[in-house]
Structure 1
Amino acid sequence: MVINKSYRDRRKGPDRLQRSLMWLTLSCWFLFLLALIFFHYARPEMQYGLYKYRDINVRENWDKTYLPWYLGLLWFCLFVTVTDLVIRIKRNRRRSDHRNYNLLLLLLMLSGALGSYYVGLF
């Protein structure tokens, strides 16, 4: 049996949904970086030796003003990333379609950040 591999590619480029998913992915990466900035300001401060020597007080608890923003951004990005990944998996069926490794990397980093917060690693 001979398979005819001379098919005509009818796609003319990315459609509106593909472009909107691309911009959504870029915005999720930006929001993840913003969440990392909130993490920096929300986490407990380290007490270095110089701080102990000079009796400088440091904050040993999470800052309650930045923590909801940090967690909210992480949960929002996780929801958007999973939704984007499901849409792309359902939609991309050809071998020549992109694999979206950046979404998988973002998903792993978001789930790792949320998991380590709720487990209490930091």
Structure 2
Amino acid sequence: MRVGSLQELKQLSFWSRVLGWLSIIGWAVFIAALIVYHYARPEHDTILTEIFGISVRQHWHITLGDLFVLLLMLGLLISLVTFTINIVLFSQHRQHLWINTMILICTFLGGLAIYFFAF
């Protein structure tokens, strides 16, 4: 049986599949949070806005800002659940650690820090 074959995929345990799906859902929530962040953040002044006298929003859009925080919290929760399942599932061998889950946790915490402390 070659590596990555269909038979090998069918032999994956239930929890390994759960880890995979939770990781995909976590990244999807992160992408949704990035899209909401783009529209919720304060706009920055540029030379063109100063020349033409265009007013820019200097504050967070309230509704989208709340949605951004909600998405970050949801993604952080999903990532922490995935990390916990990973620790419990592979605690004996420590041969299989999902790095993308740790990256997601750090990015969600960074996003929360940006929202609460940077602006």
Q: Does the alignment reach a TM-score above 0.5?
A: yes
Q: Distance in 1 between matches of 2:78 and 2:104?
A: 11
Q: Which amino acid aligns with 2:55?
A: N
CA drift at 1:116: 2.5
2:103 to 102, 105, 108: 105
Q: Percent identity?
A: 32
Which residue number corresponds to residue 69 of structure 1? 67
Q: Distance in 2 between matches of 1:26 and 1:32?
A: 10
Q: Distance in 2 between matches of 1:117 and 1:38?
A: 12
Using structure 1 for the length normalisation, give the TM-score.
0.82
Which residue number corresponds to residue 121 of structure 1? 118
- Tell whether 2:47 aligns with 1:28: no
Greater helix fraction, Structure 1 or Structure 2 = 2
3-state SS of paired residue (1:102): helix
Which residue number corresponds to residue 46 of structure 1? 44
Q: Deviations over 1:64-85 (max 9, x none)?
A: 1211111101000101111110
Using structure 2 for the length normalisation, give the TM-score.
0.84
Q: Distance in 1 between matches of 2:115 and 2:66?
A: 12
CA drift at 1:13: 3.1
CA drift at 1:49: 1.3
Superposition misfits of 4+ residues, deviation over 6 angstroms: none
CA drift at 1:25: 0.8
- Tell whether 2:16 aligns with 1:18: yes
Aligned 1:70-89 pairs, distance under 5 A: 70-89=68-87
CA drift at 1:50: 1.1
Q: Deviations over 1:73-109 (max 9, x none)?
A: 10001011111101110111224x4210111111111
Q: Distance in 2 between matches of 1:38 and 1:62?
A: 11
The range that moved more, 14-23 or 102-111, is: 14-23
Which of these two proteins has the greater Rg computed from alpha carbons? Answer: 1
Q: How many residues align?
A: 109
